[in-house]
């Protein structure tokens, strides 16, 4: 356990905030380049796409800046740390990884800052790094403990593969290991899917997080994956493409094939015990963002809850909208469930009121109050989709009097520090 920072060290760290604002990305870009060139085994952990696009370096630079700026009030970082620790747990980050990262990060800071990296500054940042690392190691240890004996990658077989929309396919996984119990995860959480990519160098393992798209307790784990277009699997340069692994799943992984999965993790979820029994739930998604909300919807309806539920989904058109047939069949069986579909560019032949309800992008002003439940001060809102979309939804709900603590958003990406 690292000792607490001294008042002088706290003052020193805060004084480096302008330095990080100016040199943060230079530091993190060099850090990752040196770390991975000298420790190639770590390429099995880090997302190659985020490395190639620079998103990982940008996220780390932002995290370092936020940490330094809030060094005397780390409580402000709690939501961001929770997000990052869940992602780390889903990648099986271990304490020894923090040793390696700390060594290279401090060496890089010293190299980039040159004479400005005085002994006092480097000592302060060494203490600060281990203060943060100890917090995260402790949080992640708790997550591993909650996973029982599932504390490493496990082999799962694809039992079913079903097309849900033109770009979205569901994969149903069952464990290869005899006796491995599928945990009762919290609806809204995700798993990491780990596949071996043999098209680059000598091959590398790559993991991506995918929301679980069905309720817990069903004897399988289901993810529903969007294929990103304009990509040919097998061309190494496409490792930089955001959809590389999703295309491998679509094109190369079939029924009977085995992939590695993490235990379910994630700080975005619906927990019945945290919500009043009759509180309305409003689920708002765009595109493939509906997957984690489908898990929440199914979990609620299979419990035969009487709480009002509104399902709001936006898509370009019916071809790319997943699960509509399923939700259309769900509504007559659950009079408390209401669906509202937006289509931004409905195709010729699509019928308003049948294929979609409202033309255009999601606009909460077009939804009646009895469906949006903004007048009920216990309503819980869950949003998932592109980051800009989620922030717009949050802003619109705020303008209608909904406090931020009743709006939950799924933030994926590189695990940076959102909205500190």
311 has which bridge partners?
Answer: 283, 339
Contact 233, 158 (CB under 8 A): no
270 found inside a domain: no
385 found inside a domain: yes
> Can you give the pTM of this predicted structure?
0.93
Lowest mean pLDDT among 194-208, 211-225, 314-328: 194-208
Contact 160, 170 (CB under 8 A): yes
408 has which bridge partners?
Answer: 382
126 — pLDDT class (breaks 50, 70, 90): very high
Pair 11, 140 in one domain: yes
**Does the pLDDT at position 199 exceed 80?**
no
Contact 266, 189 (CB under 8 A): yes
pLDDT score recorded for residue 234: 52
Pair 190, 285 in one domain: no
110 found inside a domain: yes
114 found inside a domain: yes
- Give dist(CA 131, CA 137) in Å, integer: 10
pLDDT score recorded for residue 237: 54
> What is residue 403's DSSP assignment?
-
Residue 350's domain spans which residues?
281-410
pLDDT score recorded for residue 201: 60
209 found inside a domain: yes
Q: Averaged over 145-162, what is the pLDDT?
A: 96
> What is residue 206's DSSP assignment?
E
- Give dist(CA 311, CA 295) in Å, integer: 12
Which long-range contacts does 123-129 make (Cβ < 8 Å, 24+ apart)?
123/9, 124/5, 124/8, 124/9, 124/12, 124/13, 124/16, 125/13, 125/16, 126/102, 127/2, 127/3, 127/5, 127/6, 127/9, 128/5, 128/9, 128/13, 128/67, 128/68, 128/71, 129/102, 129/105
42 phi, psi to nearest 5 deg:
-70, -10
* Per-residue pLDDT tens digits for 38-58: 999 999 999 888 888 888 999
pLDDT score recorded for residue 202: 67
Tell me which of 216, 232, 261 is where a domain ends.
261
Q: What is the CATH number of the domain that holds 338?
A: 3.40.50.80
Pair 159, 142 in one domain: no
* Per-residue pLDDT tens digits for 74-106: 999 999 999 999 999 999 999 999 999 999 999
Q: Averaged over 265-270, what is the pLDDT?
A: 96
Q: What percent of the chain has pLDDT over 90?
A: 84
Which residue did the predictor score with more confidence, 410 or 88? 88
Where in the sequence numbering do the catalytic residues fall? 98, 140
pLDDT score recorded for residue 238: 52
pLDDT score recorded for residue 235: 52
């Amino acid at each position: 356990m690292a000792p607490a920072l001294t008042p002088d060290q706290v003052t020193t760290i805060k004084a480096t905030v302008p330095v990080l604002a100016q040199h943060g990305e230079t530091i993190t870009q060099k850090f990752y380049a040196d770390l991975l060139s000298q420790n190639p085994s770590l390429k099995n952990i880090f997302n190659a796409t985020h490395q190639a696009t620079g998103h990982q370096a940008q996220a780390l630079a932002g995290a370092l800046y936020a940490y330094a700026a809030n060094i005397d009030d780390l409580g402000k970082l709690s939501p961001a740390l929770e997000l990052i620790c869940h992602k780390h747990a889903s990648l099986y980050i271990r304490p020894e990884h923090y040793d390696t990262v700390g060594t290279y990060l401090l060496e890089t800071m010293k190299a980039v800052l040159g004479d400005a990296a005085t002994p006092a500054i480097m000592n302060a940042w060494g203490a600060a790094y281990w203060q943060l690392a100890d917090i995260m190691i402790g949080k992640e240890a708790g997550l591993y403990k909650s996973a029982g004996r599932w504390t490493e990658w496990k082999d799962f077989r694809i039992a079913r593969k079903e097309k849900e929309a033109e770009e979205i396919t569901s994969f149903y996984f069952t464990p290869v290991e005899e006796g491995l119990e599928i945990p009762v995860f919290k609806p809204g959480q995700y798993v990491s899917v780990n596949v071996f990519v043999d098209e680059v160098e000598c091959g590398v393992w790559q993991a991506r997080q995918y929301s679980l798209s069905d309720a817990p307790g069903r004897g399988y784990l289901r993810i529903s994956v969007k294929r990103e277009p304009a990509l040919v699997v097998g061309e190494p340069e496409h490792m930089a493409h955001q959809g590389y692994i999703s295309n491998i799943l679509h094109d190369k992984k079939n029924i009977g094939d085995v992939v590695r999965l993490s235990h379910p993790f994630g700080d975005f979820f619906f927990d019945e015990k945290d919500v009043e029994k009759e509180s309305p739930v409003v689920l708002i998604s765009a595109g493939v963002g509906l997957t984690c909300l489908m898990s929440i919807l199914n979990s609620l309806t299979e419990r035969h809850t009487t709480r009002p539920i509104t399902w709001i989904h936006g898509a370009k058109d019916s071809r790319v909208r997943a699960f509509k047939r399923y939700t259309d069949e769900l509504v007559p069986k659950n009079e408390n469930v209401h669906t509202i579909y937006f289509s931004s560019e409905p195709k010729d032949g699509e019928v308003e009121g049948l294929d979609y309800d409202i033309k255009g992008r999601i606009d909460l002003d077009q939804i009646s109050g009895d469906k949006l439940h903004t007048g009920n001060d216990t309503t819980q809102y869950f949003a998932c989709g592109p980051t800009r979309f989620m922030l717009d939804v949050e802003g619109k709900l705020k303008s209608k009097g909904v406090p931020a603590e009743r709006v939950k958003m799924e933030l994926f990406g590189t695990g940076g520090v959102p909205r500190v």
